[in-house]
Chain A
Amino acid sequence: MASTVDAVLAEHPELVRLGGRPPLGVYLRDLWARREFAVTVPLGELRAQHMDTALGSSWHVLNPLISAGIYYMVFGVVLNARADVANYPAFLVTGMFVYYYTQRTVAAGARTVVTNMRLIQSLTFPRAILPIAAAVRESIAQGPVVAVLLGLVLLTGERPAWGWLGLLPAYALQAAFNAGVALTAGRATFHFRDIEQLLPYLLRLWLYLSGIFFTADRIPAGWARTLFELNPMHVYVRLARELLLDGAATPSVWALAAGWALAALVGGFVFFQREEGQYGRGW
């Protein structure tokens, strides 16, 4: 019996073994072949997501705006963080909008494997497309958010500068970073569902640690300040602020932003893909 099968397989090399983890090259090619899926699903979801709320997709802008209002009261007025910065409202709003972009992507990415279990169990496709599609969706949604941000910054009295064009590459770098974190969170939640419950607290902690409401000067100089300035969230927030409020960003900040983007994307992809073939084993 077994010898018959061996003979058939020896005679027909075009029959390949299914399942498991394909070589990286094949995987990337498959991923590229499904690129339209990675755009079609998010576009449809964005359309469906807001059909039930009266304010629709404006919530993408309203959420960070309302939070910024609350933090302005608490940190800006009560704790007087606004004394450190020339244009505190613009400083705060930029921070909030940049932070919320990553926050939404990570939260969405963490759920992808778990919520798409039925899809995973009924179709073969490179699983990494799921967290990537979530990152694509949030990146599309971020477009109008940035437009609103520019309007708000103009309202606070800033003038448009050529440096604002730097927001485009900054946005691309943050998108790559977000996709990497979404991939990591997708696999982590697959192993430990509890992460989904824990994630809002972790993200809030990250918000407080990333200097959204205060400047790095509030941290005592030394190793603590260095750690604070290496924090990728702070890097992307600082990059956007320097571009918008100073008209240009420090080269070292650009370098950090690019380094984090590359490290997160490659690391997250490798981490996620190692478990490929196992994601269907849900229960």
Chain B
Amino acid sequence: MAGERTQLEDRPQPVAADPAVVVDGLSVTYRVYEDSRRPTLQRSFTARFRPRPYRAIRAVQDVTAVIGRGEAVGVLGRNGSGKSTFLRAVAGLLPPDSGAVHARTTPLLLGVAAALQPNLSGRQNVLVGGTALGMRRRDLLARTGEILAFAGLEDFADVPLRAYSSGMSARLQFAIATAVSPEVLLVDEALAVGDAEFRRRSADRIQELLAGAGTVFLVSHSLSTIREICTRALWLDQGRLVLDGPVAEVSAAYEAATT
């Protein structure tokens, strides 16, 4: 670990000519309340009224990076290394404890956790998700067919979402989110649930966003997906930035360290 830190600090940092996202010394700490080990009847009545024991989990610690327009950044790390927390903080969804994230417009996070309504049909959810992202209802009504077709869900348009498989609802979310052409798109494992055909189409859609000077962050456990899509990679371990550089270099170092 110590050797890797020096390695990071010695390297010249990649600085983008046209920055889209500036992550400045970002730290995020979670407070997780712990259950008392032996619950007793008396404790279950009094526990609420005294300060509950909690553990502070430092999920992201002092991460700094400047990311430019047109860059596709892979975020690498083991389970619990802070990747998802990092993305949520970059999206402005989690308040940082110190440091800050700066961007031109609020980045759009595409996560496995659905922002959609389980009791509504796919068609209704296009309207709900799209208006939540600030699209006009009129535009959405005109594009619903196209969005459902991209997700490959024409036959399930009027079925409530709770009957969808996890892959189907992830496809729908991806289709809605990319329909708004966000300046910065953050993708958290959402591509992993689609089938091969959908993965190819979504990779194409990401390339379109990048070509239009968009920026993409991608969290995935699949190194091959990251190598295929990304140009740059950040390696996080225990919330700290271990390495930041071209994707080939960082993914090779990550692979060497984890296998």
Contact = CB atoms under 8 A, between A and B. Distances in A.
Interface in A12-51: 12, 14-20, 33-34, 36-37, 40-41, 44-45, 47-49, 51
Given A5-B22, A41-B117, A283-B33, A122 B93 contact: yes
Chain B binding site: helix, strand, loop or mixed by DSSP? Answer: mixed
B256 to A, nearest CB: 25
Contact of A277 (B66, B95, B120): B95
A49 to B, nearest CB: 8
A15 B131 contact: no
A18 B113 contact: no
Interface stretch (B96-104, B192-200, B205-213, B218-226): B96-104
A20 B24 contact: no
B96 A123 contact: no
A1 interface: yes
Given A121-B93, A122-B93, A122-B111, A33 B117 contact: no
Contacts, number: 129
B245 interface: no
Which size class do A's interface residues fall under? 35 or more
Contacts of A16: 102-104
B19 interface: yes
Contacts of A34: 131-132, 134
B13 A40 contact: no
A280 interface: yes
B95 A48 contact: no
A120 B132 CA distance: 11
Interface of A: 1-2, 4-5, 8-9, 12, 14-20, 33-34, 36-37, 40-41, 44-45, 47-49, 51, 118-125, 194, 277-278, 280-281, 283
